[in-house]
Amino acid sequence: MPVPITLDFVLRQGAFTLTVEERIDAQVVALFGPSGCGKTSVLESIAGLRSPDRGVIRIGSRTLYDGAGGVDVPAHERNLGYVPQDLALFPHMSVRQNMRYGARASRDQEAGGPWEQILSLLELRPLLERGVGDLSGGERQRVAIGRALMASPLLLLLDEPLTALDGGLRARVLPYLERIKHELATPIVYVSHDAAEVAVMADWVVELERGRVVRSGPALGAQTAASLDFRRQTSEDELNDEVEDGRR
Amino acid sequence: MSVLDGAVVEVAWRTVSMAALATLVMLPPGIGLAWVLARRTFPGRALLETLVSLPLVMPPVATGLLLIWVFGRRSPVGGLLARLGLEVMFTWRAIVIAMAVMGLPLLVRAARAGFEHVDRRYEEIAATLGASPTRVFLTISLPLAKRSVLAGALLGFSRALGEFGATIMVAGALPSTRTIAVAIYSYTETGQEVAAATMVALSASIAFGALFLSNRLAASV
C-alpha cells in the first residue's frame, strides 16, 4: 500500500551536509547511490537515531520530526522497523528472544499479533532456539528483518539488506523481501547501491550523491538499472533538472 | 586459644557480612554513576568523575572525618537519623557506610569500562524496536556489561574487606564494631602477635579469593 512520505530536512555532520527535499507516495522507496552519499544517514534520521538540524519528516499522517514545530519523536516511540547494515542482533539472546524483543515492545505476545505470520513468511521457526552466533549470513538477515517486523512497524527501514551476502544467498533472501512487500504490504525505505536490486524491489528511486538528491522518480523496473548507470555519466546540471522534473 | 578462636570467628563474620552489605549498598548508586559517566555528557561531568574517585586517593582517615561531619549526631543528616532511631556513629551502620564509600570508586571504574564496551548499536536498535530508555538499560546495557559490573562489585567488596582508616574514625575499635583490619591494628598495639597474625592470614585468604574471582571475570569480558 503506498504511503505518503515527506523527507524534507537538513542534517549536518561535521563537514558533511545532507539535504533532502522529497515528497513521495510509494510503497517501496529505494535510496540509491555510492557509499558515503548519505543513504544511511537518511534512514537513521527517519528512525530517530539522528536529529536533523531543521526540516520535516512525516510518514503518512504522522509527524516524526518538525524542527520549526519543535517535534522530535524519540526513537522508541516512532514505531518503525529499522534493520541496520550490521543487523545488531542482540548477542546475549537466542533467536526467539531477539524476535520477542520487537514483539513485546509493541505489547504483542507470541500468541497474537504478527508472530505466526512472520515466522512462516521468513521461515524462521527452525531457527528459534538457536543462539545468534550459530546463524549463517542469510539466516541472520532474516532474523533481523523478522525482529523488526514483529513490532508491526508503520514503515520498514532496510540498510543494504543483501550487500553482505554472496550471490547465492542474495538470490535466496531477495524472495523474502518481495514477500514482505506483497504479503505484509508494509511500506519500505530501502537503501542499496546495487541497481539490479533496486529494480526488483522499488516503486520509487531517490538517487543520492555527496549528501544531495540528484534524481528522484518512479522506478521503471529493469530499465531503471540501465538508466541509472547512464544517468551517472550525465552532467550534474542535467541531473538537477531531472530532479525538478521528478518532483512535478 | 578458644577465646581467641571465638573472637576471630566473630570478627571475620562481621567483616565479611558488613563488606557484603556495603557491596549491596554501593551497587545501585555505583551502577548508576558508571552508566551516567559512560553514556552521558553534561556540565559538571568531569567534576562528578573526580568526586567519585576521590576516596581512592584521599587519606582514608580524611574520608572518615568527612563522614563524621555528615553522619555525626550534631550534623543535620546524623541528627535526623538519630531522631528516627537510626544511630550511625560507632555502630555497624557506620562500618557499612565507610566500606561502601571506600569501595564505590573501584566499582564505578570497572562498571563504567564495561558500559563503555557495550556497542551503542544494540542500545539504539533496541530503542527503534520500541524499548524505553529504562528497558534498554535493563535488557541490553546491564546484561551486556554484567561481567564488568560483577568484577567491579568484587573489587569494591575486596576494598571494603580491608578498609581501616575510615572505619576506625566512624566506628572505632570497640569489640562490637571491630573488623579484621581494625583487629590487626588493636592486637598488634596490645602485643597479641599470634592473634594479629591469624587475622592477617584470614584477611589475605579472603581478599585473595575475591580478587582472583574479580580478575577472572574481568579477563573474560
Q: A220 and A110 share a domain?
A: no
- Residue whose cell numbers read 518481495: A178
A chain contacts of residue B129, beta-carbon cutoff 8 Å = 76, 81, 101-102, 105, 147-148, 150-151
Q: A171 and A236 share a domain?
A: yes
A chain contacts of residue B137, beta-carbon cutoff 8 Å = none
pLDDT at position A164, please?
73
Q: Cα–Cα distances in Å, from B43 out to B46, B109, B111?
A: 8, 20, 22
> Can you give the residue range of the structural domain that contains B22?
2-219
Whether A24 is in a domain gets the answer yes
Residue A51: which CATH number?
A: 3.40.50.300
Whether A41 is in a domain gets the answer yes
Of A74, A92, A147, the CB nearest to B129: A147
Residues A54-96 pLDDT 10s? 999 999 999 999 999 999 999 999 999 999 999 999 999 999 9
- Beta carbon pairs, A and B, within 8 Å: 58
Of B125, B130, B132, the CB nearest to A79: B130
Q: Which of B119, B121, B125, B135 to mutate to test the interface with A (most CBs of A within 10 A)?
A: B125
* A22 neighbors A29 (Cβ within 8 angstroms): no
Collapsing DSSP to helix, strand or coil, A13 comes out as: strand
Question: With left for phi above 0 and alpha for psi between -120 and 50, is residue B183 left, alpha or beta?
Answer: alpha
Per-residue pLDDT of chain B (221 residues), as tens digits, is 445 678 888 999 999 999 999 999 999 999 999 999 999 999 999 999 999 999 999 999 999 999 999 999 889 999 999 899 898 999 999 999 999 999 999 999 999 999 999 999 999 999 999 999 999 999 999 999 999 999 999 999 999 999 999 999 999 988 889 999 999 999 999 999 998 999 999 999 998 998 899 888 888 75
Quote the distance between the C-alpha of residue A213 and its chain's center: 17
Q: A110 and A38 share a domain?
A: no
Residues in chain A whose beta carbon is closer than 8 A to a beta carbon of chain B? 47-49, 74-82, 84, 86, 88, 90-92, 101-102, 105-106, 147-148, 150-151
A chain contacts of residue B128, beta-carbon cutoff 8 Å = 47-49, 75-76, 78, 80-82, 148
* A189 neighbors A157 (Cβ within 8 angstroms): yes
Q: A17 and A118 share a domain?
A: no
Q: A74 and A173 share a domain?
A: yes
Say yes or no: B221 contacts chain A, CB-CB below 8 A.
no
Q: Which helix (H) or strand (E) holds A117?
A: helix A115-121
Q: Kindly determine whether residue A75 and residue B139, on different chains, have CB atoms separated by under 8 Å.
A: no
What does chain B look like in DSSP terms, one character per residue? -HHHHHHHHHHHHHHHHHHHHHHHHHHHHHHHHHHHHHH---TTHHHHHHHHHHHHHS-HHHHHHHHHHHHSTTSHHHHHHHHTT---TTSHHHHHHHHHHHHHHHHHHHHHHHHHHS-HHHHHHHHHTT--HHHHIIIIIHHHTHHHHHHHHHHHHHHHHH--HHHHHHHTT-TTT--HHHHHHHHHHTT-HHHHHHHHHHHHHHHHHHHHHHHHHHHT-
Q: A10 and A74 share a domain?
A: yes
pLDDT at position B110, please?
95
Looking at the predicted structure, is the pLDDT value of residue A110 above 80?
no
Residue B54: which CATH number?
A: 1.10.3720.10
> Can you give the residue range of the structural domain that contains A202?
3-80+153-247
Choose the weakest-confidence range: A18-22, A48-52, A128-132, A184-188: A184-188
Q: Which of A133, A152, A171 is the last residue of a domain?
A: A152
Q: Kindly determine whether residue A49 and residue B128, on different chains, have CB atoms separated by under 8 Å.
A: yes
* A80 neighbors A189 (Cβ within 8 angstroms): no
Largest Cα–Cα separation, chain A: 56
Of A82, A91, A92, the CB nearest to B128: A82
Q: Kindly determine whether residue B128 and residue A81, on different chains, have CB atoms separated by under 8 Å.
A: yes
Q: A115 and A164 share a domain?
A: no
Q: A112 and A174 share a domain?
A: no
A175 band by pLDDT with thresholds 50, 70 and 90: confident
Burial of B95 by CB count in 10 Å (0-12 exposed, 13-18 middle, 19+ buried)? buried
Please enumerate in sequence order all residues whose Cβ is within 8 A of that of B106, keeping only pairs 6 or more positions apart, or say none. B56, B152, B155, B156, B158, B159
Q: A131 and A217 share a domain?
A: no
Q: A21 and A76 share a domain?
A: yes
Chain A residue with CA closest to B124: the answer is A49
Q: Which of A152, A183, A203 is the last residue of a domain?
A: A152
A53: phi then psi, degrees, rounded to nearest 5: -80, -35
Q: Kindly determine whether residue B144 and residue A86, on different chains, have CB atoms separated by under 8 Å.
A: no
B145: phi then psi, degrees, rounded to nearest 5: -100, 5
Residues A127-173 pLDDT 10s? 999 999 999 888 999 999 999 998 888 999 999 988 777 777 778 78
Domain count, chain B: 1
Domain count, chain A: 2
Q: How many CB atoms lie within 10 A of CB B57?
A: 8
Q: Which of A100, A134, A152 is the last residue of a domain?
A: A152
Whether A85 is in a domain gets the answer no
Whether A86 is in a domain gets the answer no
Q: A207 and A230 share a domain?
A: yes
Rg over alpha carbons for chain A, rounded to the nearest Å, is 18
CA trace torsion A142, A148, A154, A157 (10° rounding): -70
Chain B residue with CA closest to A92: the answer is B144
Q: Kindly determine whether residue B129 and residue A148, on different chains, have CB atoms separated by under 8 Å.
A: yes
